[in-house]
Amino acid sequence: MTSTVVLSTGLVVMLIGLWGVLAHRNILRIIISLSLIGTGTHILIVAIGYVRNGTAPIIDRALTVAEAPARAVDPVPSALVVTAIVIGLAVTAILLAYAIRLYESKKTLSIDAFRDSKW
Amino acid sequence: MMQRLPSAIAVLLLALIFATIAIGHAEQTVLRPLAESYVRLVPHELGAPNVITGILLTYRAFDTLGEVAVLFMVAAGVGLVLKEPGKAGARSASDSEAAQPASEIVRTAAQILVPLIAIFAAYIIMNGHISAGGGFQGGAVIASAVLLMLLADPSHKLNSVFLSVTESLAGVLFVLVGIAGLIFAGGFLDNRVLPLGQFGAFFSAGAIPLLSVLLGVKVGCELSVILDRFRA
C-alpha cells in the first residue's frame, strides 16, 4: 500500500514534467520539467524496491544482522538511484550551459525564436 | 489552445499506461534473491553496516568510478560550452551586475554557516559506511558551502589549479586503491585490502571509508568547478 502511493506520486510527477516539456516555450521551464521527469523516475525506482514493513538496509541496534534479510528493503534500487541523481545533475548542468549560450545568441529564452536550426 | 491538444493527448495516453502500472503494482513481501544476497553478504564479507554503501563502493564500485568520470566530463563540457573567445556584451554586463556586494545578512550568515556546513559534510562522508551518508552526498554538501561562499562574495576567485590538482589526486588515489584490491584482495576495488576491523566501528569496513573520503573530495571539487564555470 505505502509503496503504491509513492509509486503513483512518482508517476504523476513524471506526467507533470512531460506536460511541462510539451506545453512550455521557455527553455528554463523546459529544463525544470526535464528535471521533474528525472525526479519522478527516482521516486518510482525507490518505490519499486520497497518491501512490506521494511526498513532502511542499515545494520544497527534497530536491525540486527540476523533479521536484516527479513526486514530490510531492497538496497539495489537505492544504490541505482544515487547513480541516477548524479547523472541527472550532470544533464541539468549541461542543459543550463546550453541555455546560457542560446540566450546569448538570440537574447531570448523562448524556443520559438530558434527556428533556423530546424532541418 | 489547438497547439496544446496533441500534447494533452500524449500526456493522457501516457497517463493511461502509467495507471495500469500503478494498479498492477504489487508490493514485495520478501526480498528478491539478488537483494537478499547483498543484504547477507555486505555485513559478512565487507563488514559494512550500510548495505547501500557496500554495494556502491565495493560490489558496484566500478560504476561509481564511471559516474565520477561522467561528473568530470560535465565539468569539462560546461567549460567548453561556456568558454567564449571574444567576450560578448551580455557577458560583461552580467559581470558588473554580479560584482555588486551581497547584503550584510548573506555575508554574516556565510561566515557562520560555511564552517558548519563543512563539518557536516565531513560527518556525512566519514559515516557513509556506518549510517546514512557517503561520498556523493558529502561532496554535494561541500559544493553547497562553496556556493554560499560565492553568493556572499561574488568577486571571490576560486583557486581552480588547487581544485583540479586535488580532484585529479583523489581520482588517481581511488584507482590506486582499486588496483591494490586487484593485487592484495579479491579483485578491482575490493575493500579488503585494509583490515575489516570491528563491525560498526568508525575505522572499519576495510577501504570503504578511504574510498568514501576520496569520492567526497573528488565530487566536492568537481561540483565547485562546475559552479565556478557557471559564474564566469
**Domains along chain A with CATH numbers:** 2-113 (1.10.287.3510)
Closest CA to B177 of B200, B193, B153, B201: B193
Q: What is the pLDDT of residue B204?
A: 75
Q: Tell me if B129 sits within 8 A of B197, measured CB to CB.
A: no
Task: Supply B208's cell numbers.
Answer: 570503504
Report the alpha-carbon distance of residue B232 to residue A1 in Å, rounded.
Answer: 49
Q: Which of B8, B28, B74 lies at the smallest CB-CB distance from A50?
A: B28
* A6–B contact, CB cutoff 8 A: no
- Residue A31, pLDDT above cutoff 90: yes
Question: How many beta-carbon contacts under 8 Å exist across A and B?
Answer: 144
Q: Give, as one character, the DSSP assignment of residue B154.
A: T
* B39–A contact, CB cutoff 8 A: yes
Residue with cell 508517476: A11
Q: What is the pLDDT of residue B115?
A: 92
Nearest-CA distance from B60 to chain A in Å? 9
Residue with cell 568508525: B202
pLDDT tens digit sequence for B6-19 = 888 988 999 999 88
Lowest mean pLDDT among A40-44, A67-71, A95-99, B141-145: A67-71
Per-residue confidence at A9, pLDDT binned at 50, 70, 90?
very high
pLDDT tens digit sequence for B181-200 = 878 777 787 777 777 777 77
Nearest-CA distance from A42 to chain B in Å? 15
User: B56 contacts in A (CB within 8 Å)?
Assistant: 79, 82
Q: Do A75 and B51 touch (CB under 8 A)?
A: yes
Lowest mean pLDDT among A8-12, B116-120, B201-205: B201-205
Report the alpha-carbon distance of residue B130 to residue B148 in Å, rounded.
Answer: 29
Q: What is the pLDDT of residue B90?
A: 45
The predicted model gives A26-53 an average pLDDT of 90
In chain A, residues 24-83 whose CB comes closer than 8 Å to chain B: 49-52, 56-60, 65, 68-70, 72, 74-76, 78-79, 82-83
pLDDT tens digit sequence for B130-182 = 888 888 888 889 989 988 888 888 777 778 888 888 888 888 888 888 888 87
- Residue B89, pLDDT above cutoff 50: no
The predicted model gives B95-117 an average pLDDT of 79
Q: What is the pLDDT of residue A117?
A: 63
Query: Complex ipTM, two decimals?
Result: 0.79
What rounded mean pLDDT belongs to chain B?
82
Q: Give, as one character, the DSSP assignment of residue B198.
A: S
Amino acid at A103: Y
CA angle B208, B166, B218 (to 5 degrees): 45
Per-residue confidence at A13, pLDDT binned at 50, 70, 90?
very high
Q: What is the pLDDT of residue A40?
A: 93
Angle between helices B208-231 and B135-152 (to 10 degrees): 30
Task: Supply B67's cell numbers.
Answer: 559516474
Q: Do A82 and B52 touch (CB under 8 A)?
A: yes
- Residue B78, pLDDT above cutoff 60: yes
